[in-house]
Amino acid sequence: MTDEPCWSTDDVVRLAGVSSRTLRHYDHIGLVPPAGTGPGGRRLYGRTQLRRLQHVLLLRELGLGLPQITAVLDTGSDAAEVDALRVHHGRLLDEIARLRRLADTVARSIGEREGRGEMTAEEMFEAFRDDPHGAEARDRWGADAVAVQERVADWTRADATELTADWESVLRRLATARSAGDPVDAPSVQEIVADHHRWVSRFWVPAREAYTGLGELYADDPRFAGQIDAHGAGLSGYLRDAIAVYAAERLEQP
């Protein structure tokens, strides 16, 4: 270590909002190794490491998985990283514009209810048109996406918290099974997948082909793969293969 400022793991957890477990994982896979260690073996991070961690978090928000992020950061090319950040910046600006339209619609709705002018039919739904996320869902899943969106709209914060906890539990158990060397067709792994299928069924009940396709989406789409692989490199592929076994053996075609 040099005389440059440094930050402990606790400092970085507080600054970046990531867990110490995540930092250990990033160190283990060589994504964000610390600058050195201090008394008692504490990891210490310099400004270079903080900047790299910031870039990792930005690229994860962009939807890149950890392998893709490593490839971008390790090319040694600022141009590749800047290109990725420009794409992310554009998406953020689009999302800001969408949220502003929603906020304006809410404000005008309040005004109408308080007798300060009536909204036109066009104005009532203006903010809900051209939603890129909604369009993607409709294109990929059709009427099922609409039904899911309507169901989710009625959920409480407690419902959302419970669903998130159940999803994280599935991923942790799968990561443990994979680390133990359990094959995807092992009964213990298939029971975890059964729990996952029950979890998915709170949104919509997928039959064989749809559930297999969901598993492929988890592995192929960097937004999903990045989230899943944060629990262990390659976990998204492991889940995909386990889902394929479950779907073939336990699910029927509609």
95, 97, 98, 103 alpha-carbon torsion, rounded to 10°: 120
For residue 72, the model assigns a pLDDT of 77
Taking residues 105-128, report their average pLDDT.
73
The answer to whether residue 58 sits within a structural domain is: yes
What's the pLDDT score for residue 195?
A: 95
* Counted domains in the chain: 3
Distance, in Å, from the CA atom of 114 to the CA atom of 112, rounded to the nearest integer, reads 5
Do 38 and 82 fall into the same domain?
Answer: no
163 with 237, same domain: the answer is yes
Question: Any idea which residue has 């939603």 for tokens?
Answer: 131
Say yes or no: 57 and 101 in one domain.
no
**Residue 232 phi/psi, 5° resolution?**
160, 125
Give the number of C-alpha atoms closer than 13 A to the C-alpha of residue 159, restricted to the C-beta side. Answer: 9
CATH code at position 221: 1.10.490.50
Is residue 127 over pLDDT 50?
yes
Same domain flag for 168 and 215: yes
Does residue 102 fall inside a structural domain?
yes
DSSP letter string over 117-181? -PPPHHHHHGGGTT-HHHHHHHHHHTHHHHHHHHHHHT--HHHHHHHHHHHHHHHHHHHHHHHTT
Q: In whole angstroms, give the CA distance from residue 164 to residue 157.
A: 11
Residue 221 banded pLDDT, cuts 50, 70, 90: confident
pLDDT at 76: 62
57 and 18 in a common domain:
yes
pTM (predicted TM-score): 0.46
- Do 119 and 161 lie in a common domain? no
Residue 151 lies inside a defined structural domain of this protein: no
Q: Indicate whether 107 and 38 sit together in one domain.
A: no
The answer to whether position 137 is within a domain reads no
Average pLDDT value for residue range 156-167:
77
Identify the three-state secondary structure at position 186: coil
Tell me if residue 90 falls in helix, strand or coil: helix
Please indicate, yes or no, if residue 146 is contained in any of the structural domains: no
Q: Do 239 and 173 share a structural domain?
A: yes
Residue 145 lies in a domain: no
Residues 37 and 86 in one domain: no
Whether 51 has a pLDDT exceeding 80, the answer reads yes
- Is the pLDDT assigned to residue 183 strictly greater than 90? yes
71 falls within a domain:
no
Residue 136 lies in a domain: no
What domain range includes position 29? 7-64
Q: What is the CATH number of the domain that holds 19?
A: 1.10.1660.10
Residues 51 and 93 in one domain: no
Statement to judge: residues 38 and 86 lie in one domain: no
Same domain, 239 and 209: yes
Contact between 243 and 186 under an 8 Å Cβ cutoff? The reply is no
pLDDT tens profile 8-21: 999 999 999 888 88
